[in-house]
Amino acid sequence: MKNQKTIPKTVLSRIYFIDREIAAGNYPNTRTLAEAHETGTATISRDIEFMRDRMKAPIEYDFTRKGYYYTEKTFRLPAAFVSANDMLALGMAKTLLSLYQNTPIYDAAKGLMESVTAPLENDGNRWYEERIIVPPVPAVQFSTEVWNIICEALRKNRVLKFEYRSTWKNGYSLRRVRPYQLLFDNGAWYLYAYSIQGKGIRMYSLPRIQNISLDDETFTFPAAASYRARTDGSYLGAYSSEKKRRFRIAFYNDGAMRIKERLWAADQKIKEMSDGVILSFSSAQYGKVLELVLANGRDALPLEPKELVQDWRNNIYDMQKQAKSQKTRN
C-alpha cells in the first residue's frame, strides 16, 4: 500500500473515535464500534485495517476480552496524519458550537467534536481558541422534551399536536401541524411546518410551544415544500412567505457600506449613487427584508414594493407615537 499523509475526510471522525475507544481500554470490537458510530461492521473493519497498515497503529485483538487493544499502552494517533488546515477547520467547528449553547444538541455535539479533535490536545496547537472568537448571541431556551418529540416526528413523518402562544393573540391555542424542518437562526430555533388548520406553511418558535405530543397520522414530506426550495437564492435567515417579491431599497452613509460588504441574494444588484447605493433583489423572506430596512434606521429608504414602503411608514408612525408618549410622560 502507498503511504498516506492525511486521513480521508470521510473517515476522519470514525478513525479518531476508534482510537479514543481503544486507548481508553474499553476493548471495543467491530460490533460495538459500529453500533456506537451508527455504521456497519464492514466499515469499521476497513478503518481498523487502515489504522494498522497506513497509520502504523499497534492494534491487536484480545480473544479473552473479545475486543481490540493497543500493544503500546501510550499510543495515540498523531495529528500529523491530518493536514494543518483540516485540524484548524475542526478546531474552528468546535468554536462555532458556542452558537448552539443552551440548546438540547449542544452537549452531544460538543462531546462528538471533543473526540474528533483529540489530536489537538496532544499537540498543544490550540492558538485559535484565544485568537479566533465567535461572539455569543442571545440564545432562546426551551424544554428538551419539545426538542426530542419534534425530532421524532421529523424522523417518522408524524403529525404533531401542541399548544402555541402566538405573537398576535393572548394565551395558547391548539395546533396540528405536519413538521417539515427545524431551522436555526441567530440563536433561535423554529419549527417549519404545514398548519393543518391554516392550510399553509407556518413558522413556530420553539419556546412558545407547550404540551406537545405525536399524532397517529403520518404524511409524506413534499420536496417542493422544503425551506431551501422556497427560499432559494435569498440569504436573510429563518423566514418564509408564500410568494417571492422583487425589492428595491436605497441605503446611505454607514448603511451603504454594510450593504456592499455582504451577499443578500443570489440575484442581487447594487447600483452606486453619489450619496449611497440601491440594492435590488428577489426574496420570499418579506419579514426579514422589513427587519433589514428598520435595522438600518435613517440610512435605509424602501422603494419597492409598495407593501414594504407602507409597512415601513406604519412602523415610523408607531415609533413617532411612542416617542411623543414618552416625552409627555417625562
Q: Domains of the chain: which residue ranges?
A: 9-77, 84-131, 144-228, 231-325
pLDDT tens-digit map of 262-312: 999 999 999 999 999 999 999 999 999 999 999 999 999 999 999 999 999
Q: What is the pLDDT of residue 143?
A: 87
Set of cell numbers at residue 236: 436573510
- Split at pLDDT 50, 70, 90, the class of 50 is confident
pLDDT tens-digit map of 157-170: 999 999 999 877 78
pLDDT: is 252 or 233 the higher one?
Answer: 252
**Fold of the domain built from segment(s) 9-77:** Arc Repressor Mutant, subunit A (1.10.10)
Rg (CA), the chain: 26
Across 14-18, average pLDDT? 84
Assess whether pLDDT exceeds 70 at residue 80: no
- Split at pLDDT 50, 70, 90, the class of 10 is low
Q: What is the pLDDT of residue 91?
A: 67
Q: What is the pLDDT of residue 168?
A: 75
Q: Name the residue among 140, 142, 219 with its Cα closest to residue 176.
A: 219
Q: Does domain 144-228 have CATH number 2.30.30?
A: yes
Assess whether pLDDT exceeds 70 at residue 85: no
Q: What is the pLDDT of residue 15?
A: 84
Q: What is the pLDDT of residue 4?
A: 46
- Split at pLDDT 50, 70, 90, the class of 1 is very low
pLDDT: is 85 or 44 the higher one?
Answer: 44
Mean pLDDT (the chain, rounded): 85
pLDDT: is 60 or 2 the higher one?
Answer: 60
Q: What is the CATH number of domain 231-325?
A: 3.30.70
pLDDT tens-digit map of 90-130: 667 777 777 777 677 777 777 766 665 655 555 455 667 77
Q: Name the residue among 257, 324, 249 with its Cα closest to residue 293.
A: 249
Strand partners, 54: none
Assess whether pLDDT exceeds 80 at residue 82: no
pLDDT tens-digit map of 244-258: 899 999 999 999 999
Rounded CA gap, 325 and 330, in Å?
A: 9
Across 191-210, average pLDDT? 94
Assess whether pLDDT exceeds 50 at residue 3: no
Q: What is the pLDDT of residue 86?
A: 63
Minimum mean pLDDT among 18-22, 60-64, 119-123, 176-180: which range? 119-123
pLDDT: is 140 or 89 the higher one?
Answer: 140
Q: Where are the beta strands (DSSP E) in the chain?
A: 59-62, 67-70, 158-165, 172-185, 188-195, 200-205, 209-218, 245-252, 269-273, 276-283, 300-304
Rounded CA gap, 274 and 196, in Å?
A: 51
Strand partners, 269: 280
